[in-house]
Amino acid sequence: MNCKYNSWWLKLFQVCALLSLVNAEDFYKLLGISKTATLKEIKKAYRQKSLEYHPDKNKEEGAAEKFAEINRAYEVLSDDEKRQIYDRHGEEGLKQHEAGGGGGFGGGFGGSPFDDFFGFGQRQRHDQEQRTPSVDIPLELSLEQLYKGETFEVSYVRQVLCLRWEMCMKPNQECQAPGIRVKRQQIAPGFVQQFQQHDERCVAPGKMWLNNCSECPSKTETEKIDLTIDVAKGMRPGEAITFEGVTDEKPGYKPGDLNFIVNEKPHKEYHRDGDHLYKTMEIPLVDALTGFSVTLTQLDGEEFTVKIDDIVECDHVLRVPGKGMPRRSGRGYGDLYITFEVDFPDELTPTQKQQIREILSGKTQDSSSSKSDSEL
């Protein structure tokens, strides 16, 4: 009984020892995923890696330690709160959070300087976290693309923090925020003057960058990420397709947003206002007087016919229901408004003028009737 009990504790100690070997290696690289990976991608990568390094299947030296690291990486990245803390403060910051019971930072340490070093002690600082600049990129789209919707695969190049950037920081309580250093100077017994100055070495509250640090000489490195842009049907000019937190990284800053701003190209036939389309057509005078039909092509290539039997006045506007742009709400379509411009002939012969006058005044019918009566 005692042997079994001791054996169980021995196994537990071995597991704890393995977990303690989890070092600061980047969790994303451990799983072979990007920092923008979705939960589905994280789970898929974890299954592959855990099968590869499972101690029951992989007997190579170091496989068990690697398996423990992979489990730790998945535990963190599959939890939204832990992942956010890890992305902002690294593994050391995550350990501080977990040591404090996960209910906020600083409460478990009695307000020690270590709280200020990681910026966990004051909620106000967290709320005022600075961001790198957001980036707006114009997205030139044709009216056809906005009508049908479209998907684009694009690449974006940004600057990301190097793997061991946290090794290049040292505690400095004079650093109040990125680029801001507050110094105190005693000017008389019991009187201290406090003044603020700009210092690029301050990268976060309580953190100062070490110059010429071999672990991360340039602070950042270039990374190319692949993005999928989904253009929804009926999107309007000026709308933004936003990817949150994917612009340049910088110590002490949260990455800004990448915005693709919809810009609508001019169209040779239609112009747009909201969900409605507008078109101007020129018709000859004979069609305006006698009626006509015309076949039009929608922006998706489908054809439809408009038939008019009434007399069309100059600048008459015809509303064709449901032939406009897809509504942004996703329910139905706007309308098409056609403005007709009547093309009058440049000149008429005397005979043509007389015939038109007779037709419009009704004299031709009266003359025919009189002739028939006289013949009788």
Q: Please write down the long-range contacts of 243-246, taking CB distance under 8 Å and 24 or more positions apart.
A: 243/36, 246/36, 246/156, 246/158
For the stretch 242-269, what's the b/e string if a residue is b when 16 or more beta carbons lie within 10 angstroms of its beta carbon? ebebbbbbbbbbbbbbbbbebebeeeee
Q: Kind and range of the H or E element at 279? A: strand 276-284
Q: What is the mean pLDDT of residues 267-278?
A: 94
> How do strand 336-343 and strand 276-284 relate by DSSP bridges?
parallel
Beta bridge partners of 279: 338
Q: Rounded mean pLDDT of 196-210?
A: 85
φ/ψ (deg, to 5) at 159: -100, 125
- pLDDT for the residue 106: 41
Give residue 128's pLDDT: 54
pLDDT of 323 reads: 94
Q: What is the residue-averaged pLDDT of the chain?
A: 80
Q: Which of 335 and 179 is assigned the larger pLDDT?
A: 335
177 or 141, greater pLDDT: 141
Question: Is residue 294's pLDDT more than 60?
Answer: yes
Cα 131 to Cα 89, 134, 137, 331, 345: the distances in Å are 14, 8, 18, 37, 66
Q: How far is CA 17 from CA 10, 13, 75, 134, 225, in A?
A: 10, 6, 17, 43, 36
Separation CA 313–CA 336 (nearest Å): 18
Global pTM value: 0.57
**pLDDT given at position 300:** 92
| Cα separation, 63 vs 57, whole angstroms | 9
Amino acid, single-letter form, for residue 3: C
344 closest CA partner among 336, 332, 333, 352: 352
25 φ, ψ to 5°?
-60, 140
For residue 186, give the 3-state DSSP assignment.
strand
The residue-averaged pLDDT of 45-58 equals: 80
Whether 247 and 135 have beta carbons less than 8 Å apart is answered as: yes
CA angle 107, 108, 114 (to 5 degrees): 85
Q: How far apart are CA 246 and CA 270, in angstroms?
A: 36
- Inter-CA distances, 306 with 285, 294, 303, Å: 18, 5, 10
